[in-house]
Homo-oligomer: A and B are copies of this chain.
Amino acid sequence: MAELLSLKEAVARLVHDGDTVALEGFTHLIPVAAGHEIIRQRRTGLTLVRMTPDIVYDQLIGAGCASKLIFSWGGNPGVGSLHRFRDAVQYEWPVPLEIEEHSHAGMANRYVAGASGLPFAVLRGYTGTDLPSRTDTIKPITCPFTGEQLAAVPALNPDVTIVHAQRADRAGNVQIWGITGVQKEAVLAAKRSLVTVEEVVDELEPRPGAIVLPSWAVTAVAEVPGGASPSYAAGYYERDNDAYQAWDAIGRDRESFTRWLDELTGVKA
């Protein structure tokens, strides 16, 4: 059964240096507050996993929390590039960043395999592309019935997955609606999981399009209103597009980023 914890305590207990950590969300319900808490607690050597690393991953990378990124599309969605990500890949600042690069279909299936307790997944993917020559975790596999060749990718099983949801009840059952992305698979694939929620309520009223993660499939729930801002949280708030635009300027150079980081972590200039 999921424990109700503060965000600070949840991150302290669930996220350790060197862990493989997935903060998932497909531009909706991004667990931004949890990412900031990881930065504040100064975790290092993390292998970060996400289909669509965006601003909060740029921040984690810029802060030096990550030594590896497993991903399929890294950008500031609707705005442009991630400059901290680029700086890490091109100039190893502040630390070198190893990358393991897939397609969305491959990443989604890696989570599915992880959630299913299988060591790998099969897909029609990567054919003809240069990705298999750069990524060890794509291998051919042959159908034992038709002889056809397909692609295999290994399961993703993060040490901890963090997602943001709209609601949980006091027993720790979690309700998510709108675009639910790959969040269920990412939670079920992980050894431990943390769900930050907009609010903890007495009862989860059923609603169209909602999925429920039962309490016994989740390690911890933390109530963090606004925890997905500046991303969307359907039913609670829209995307703060100005913040996405503003990040482009902040992330673009090391000095302005360092000022942002000092402010987040409470370091006085």
A236 contacts partner chain B, Cβ-Cβ < 8 Å:
no
A266 at the interface (CB under 8 A from B): no
Assess whether B122 is in contact with A148, with CB atoms less than 8 Å apart.
no
- A120 to chain B: closest residue by CB: B143
Q: What residues of chain B lie closer than 8 Å to A148, measured between beta carbons?
A: 119
User: Which B residues are CB-close (under 8 A) to A152?
Assistant: 143-145
A210 to B120, CA, bound (A): 30
Chain B residues whose C-beta falls within 8 Å of the C-beta of A150 in the assembled complex: 118-119
- Copies of this chain, complex-wide, total 2
Which of B143, B146, B154, B207 interacts with A145 by CB under 8 Å? Answer: B154
A268 interfacial contact with B, CB 8 Å: no
A8 in contact (CB, < 8 A): no
Please report the C-alpha to C-alpha distance between residue A122 and residue B123 in the assembled complex, in whole angstroms: 11
What is the CA–CA distance of A122 and B151 in the complex, to the nearest angstrom? 13
Task: Among B117, B124, B146, B208, point to the contact of A124 (Cβ < 8 A).
Answer: B117
Q: Are B119 and A123 interface neighbours, CB within 8 A?
A: no
Closest to A205 in B: B208
A210 to B209, CA, bound (A): 7
User: 8 Å CB contacts to B: which residues of A115-167?
Assistant: 117-124, 137, 139-141, 143-146, 148, 150, 152, 154
**Shortest distance in angstroms between A79's beta carbon and chain B's nearest beta carbon?**
31
Min CB gap A3→B, angstroms: 27
**Across the interface, do B120 and A145 meet the contact criterion of CB distance under 8 Å?**
yes
Per the bound structure, the CA–CA distance linking A143 and B137 in Å amounts to: 12
Bound complex: CA of A79 vs CA of B208, how far in Å? 35
Query: How far is the CB of A150 from the nearest CB of chain B, in Å?
Result: 7
A206: nearest chain-B partner, CB-CB: B208
Give chain B nearest CB distance to A201 CB in angstroms: 16
Q: Which of A44-69 contact B (CB under 8 A)?
A: none
Specify which chain B residues have a CB less than 8 angstroms from the CB of A154 in the assembled complex.
145-146
| A207 and chain B: residue at smallest CB distance | B208
- A148 CA to B120 CA in the complex, in Å? 10
A145 contacts B137, CB within 8 Å? Answer: yes
**Residue in contact with A122 in the complex, picked from B122, B124, B146, B210, CB distance below 8 Å:** B122
A152 to chain B, nearest CB (A): 5
B residues near A146, Cβ cutoff 8 Å: 119-120, 154
In the complex formed, the residue of B with least CB distance to A121 is B122
- Residues on A lying within 8 angstroms of B by beta carbon are 117-124, 137, 139-141, 143-146, 148, 150, 152, 154, 206-210
CB<8 Å pairs between A and B, sample of 11 = A117-B124, A119-B143, A119-B145, A120-B122, A120-B143, A120-B144, A120-B146, A137-B145, A139-B144, A141-B144, A145-B152
